[in-house]
Amino acid sequence: MRIVFPIFDGFTSLDAVGPYEVLRMLPGAEVVFAAEDTAPVTDDAGRLTVTPSATLAATTSADVLVVPGGPGARRNLGNEALLGWIRRIHATSTWTTSVCTGSLLLGAAGLLDGLEATTHWSAVKTLESYGATYTEERVVRQPGGIITSAGVSSGIDMALRLAELLAGRVAAEAFQLAIEYDPQPPFDSGSLSKASQDAKDYLTAR
């Protein structure tokens, strides 16, 4: 069970680490963080630096592909080497998935044309520019083994669904217990439709 996360400078750490923390518990899981070369990769905040476990070139197949987002994803939308790699891995995968603006990379690779998909709320127009129809759901599963999820933290919810698909419901429930995922956010501000105008204005002003 090979689970591959492509990483690149400017990726959002939680996009990758959220689903990683679930999927690594799959029976026989072999996790690969693959990057253009083996030099350390730094996230979008410039503070978390991860050492890739393989190069993209050496990573030729995946059972599960999880593409994280972040400003680095947007910067790579014209990176034909990365997009071609995504297409090649998708041809081998059971599930090709994305978190947050990782879906833009799937779109740029041509994998979302004519499909429903989701992304971070700030990236809807770009997503639709690739022929996808934005669906305001947390996790969107489509034919062809493609699953996209919404912003950053949604990757945890997606990974639990993937775990059920790959190892059954009891296993997925066990993984939820293992990470004690009984979310109790102190506010109800996690989506555009729920957040206050003040909260939106705060982000805009940053």
- φ, ψ of residue 6 to 5 degrees: the values are -70, 135
Contact 98, 86 (CB under 8 A): no
**Burial class of residue 198, CB neighbours in 10 A (0-12, 13-18, 19+):** exposed
CB of 43 to a copy of itself, least distance (A): 9
**Binding characters for a copy of itself, 171-190, by CB under 8 A (x = yes):** xxxx-xxxxxxxxxxxx-xx
Contact 112, 96 (CB under 8 A): no
Contact 155, 149 (CB under 8 A): yes
Single residue of 100, 112, 115, 146 touching a copy of itself by CB under 8 A: 100
77 given a catalytic annotation:
no
Residue 37 as a binder of a copy of itself (CB under 8 A): the answer is no
**Burial class of residue 128, CB neighbours in 10 A (0-12, 13-18, 19+):** middle
Secondary structure of residue 161 in the 3-state scheme:
helix
Residue 87 as a binder of a copy of itself (CB under 8 A): the answer is no
| Residue placing its CB nearer to a copy of itself in the complex, 37 or 180 | 180
Residue 54: closest CA among 1, 3, 105, 90? 3
CB of 161 to a copy of itself, least distance (A): 5
Residue 40 as a binder of a copy of itself (CB under 8 A): the answer is yes
Residue 202 as a binder of a copy of itself (CB under 8 A): the answer is yes
| Residue placing its CB nearer to a copy of itself in the complex, 8 or 20 | 20
Single residue of 1, 17, 77, 124 touching a copy of itself by CB under 8 A: 17
CB of 122 to a copy of itself, least distance (A): 9
Of the residues 62, 67, 82, 100, only one is catalytic, namely: 100
Token representation of residue 55: 């190069």
Residue 145: closest CA among 160, 165, 119? 165
Contact 21, 10 (CB under 8 A): no
Q: How many CB atoms lie under 10 A from the CB of residue 158?
A: 27
| Residue placing its CB nearer to a copy of itself in the complex, 13 or 83 | 13
Which positions are catalytic? 100
Residues in contact with a copy of itself by the rule CB under 8 A: 12-14, 17-18, 20-21, 24, 31-33, 40, 45, 47-51, 53, 100, 120-121, 138-139, 150-154, 156-157, 160-161, 164, 169-174, 176-187, 189-192, 194-196, 198-200, 202-203
